[in-house]
């Protein structure tokens, strides 16, 4: 790794990263799940397990985070990462609770089915079904249906961006904003960063190849832009976006390219490259660059979730207006 000029505060964390062989999916899942912080309670946030039903009858688990002090009438719909084959809402549980508390908005996380057992389009269908459920339950959750933010990390970024495309093309739920964090968007892996950063920490080029192969399965013919949003030729009329990328990440340039394509299509975009970072290095919370990354995430989401013209009245965790 000496050829990469990593942030000095991140260097030590690299040695502690577990070796995850994605060709052994069961073992990879065991290793990744063993690193979760768990699903314990978080001060100032109540957590509720819910579910919705996919078109094929599968029950999709959803986790709803309600801050005890509601200062926003919006909602953040979170789609976890894991290369399409790993992870579940547990992996981002504590961060989702923090986002709920720090933005004052409801957060909903979706447990979509994973590849290779469930390749495209099933994971995306699950994510979209969860978005439909959120739209249908805005009343009881005290959410303004025009203030729903899609929030995706890594492979979850691909699913969030694809859900935005589906919502536009199916005249589905209105999406206020899409927050794409180190998104995996292009199965072709032809960018300079994907060719150069073949052995970077946490995510190598080989990892990306295995992830896309599992997600796309044995489907013949052209890859759908709903599977790999970088392939979309029409990005007009999509919600505004924030895209963040890590400097030393095979996915870096596809995130940058997607942001540029959105801009060319007339979609407002904010793009941020965090220097000296690797894929998922924000988990090293004590590093100054990670603190900047996490605080900017909250700042961006707070700004987006403010109601136009006036701040939202604080609400309690049952969605009622709170007295202040």
- Catalytically annotated residues: 154, 249, 279
Residue 204 has, within 13 A of its CA and on its CB side, a CA count of 11
DSSP state of 171: T
Task: Tokens for 10, please give them.
Answer: 């991140």
Handedness of CA 113, 114, 115, 121 (dihedral sign): positive
Task: Tokens for 307, please give them.
Answer: 């109601």
CA 56 to CA 74: how far, in whole Å?
29
Question: Cβ contacts of residue 322 below 8 Å, gap of 6+?
Answer: 69, 70, 313, 314, 315, 316
149 bridge partner residues: 76, 177
Q: Phi first, then psi: give them for residue 16, nearest 5 degrees.
A: -85, -5
Instruction: With beta carbons less than 8 A apart as the criterion, state whether 108 and 65 touch.
Output: yes
Strand order in the sheet with 177-181: 45-53, 59-67, 106-111, 75-79, 148-153, 177-181, 241-248, 269-278
| C-alpha separations of 142 from 7, 24, 76 in Å | 42, 43, 13
């Amino acid at each position: 790794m000496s050829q990469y000029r990593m942030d000095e505060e991140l260097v030590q964390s690299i040695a502690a990263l577990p070796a995850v062989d994605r060709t052994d999916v069961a073992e990879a899942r065991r290793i990744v799940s063993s690193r979760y912080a768990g699903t314990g309670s978080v001060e100032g946030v109540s957590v509720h397990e819910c579910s919705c039903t996919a078109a094929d009858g599968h029950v999709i688990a959803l986790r709803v985070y309600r801050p005890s002090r509601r200062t926003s009438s919006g909602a953040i719909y979170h789609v976890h990462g894991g290369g399409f084959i790993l992870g579940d809402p547990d992996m981002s549980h504590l961060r989702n609770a923090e986002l709920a508390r720090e933005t004052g908005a409801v957060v909903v996380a979706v447990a979509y089915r994973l590849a290779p057992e469930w390749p495209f389009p099933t994971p995306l269908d699950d994510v979209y079904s969860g978005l439909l459920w959120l739209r249908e339950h805005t009343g009881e959750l005290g959410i303004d249906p025009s203030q729903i933010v899609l929030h995706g990390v890594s492979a979850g970024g691909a699913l969030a961006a694809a859900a935005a495309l589906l919502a536009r093309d199916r005249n589905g739920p209105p999406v206020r904003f899409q927050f794409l964090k180190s998104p995996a968007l292009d199965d072709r892996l032809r960018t300079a960063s994907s060719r150069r950063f073949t052995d970077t920490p946490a995510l190598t080029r080989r990892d990306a190849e295995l992830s896309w192969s599992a997600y796309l399965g044995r489907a013949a013919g052209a890859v759908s832009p709903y599977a790999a949003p970088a392939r979309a030729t029409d990005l007009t009329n999509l919600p505004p976006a924030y895209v963040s990328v890590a400097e030393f990440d095979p996915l870096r340039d596809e995130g940058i390219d997607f942001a540029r394509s959105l801009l060319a299509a007339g979609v407002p975009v904010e793009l941020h490259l965090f220097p000296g970072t690797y894929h998922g290095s924000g988990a090293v919370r004590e590093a100054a660059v990670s603190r900047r990354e996490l605080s900017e995430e909250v700042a961006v989401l707070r700004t987006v979730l403010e109601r136009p013209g006036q701040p939202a009245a604080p609400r309690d965790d049952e969605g009622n207006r709170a007295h202040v």
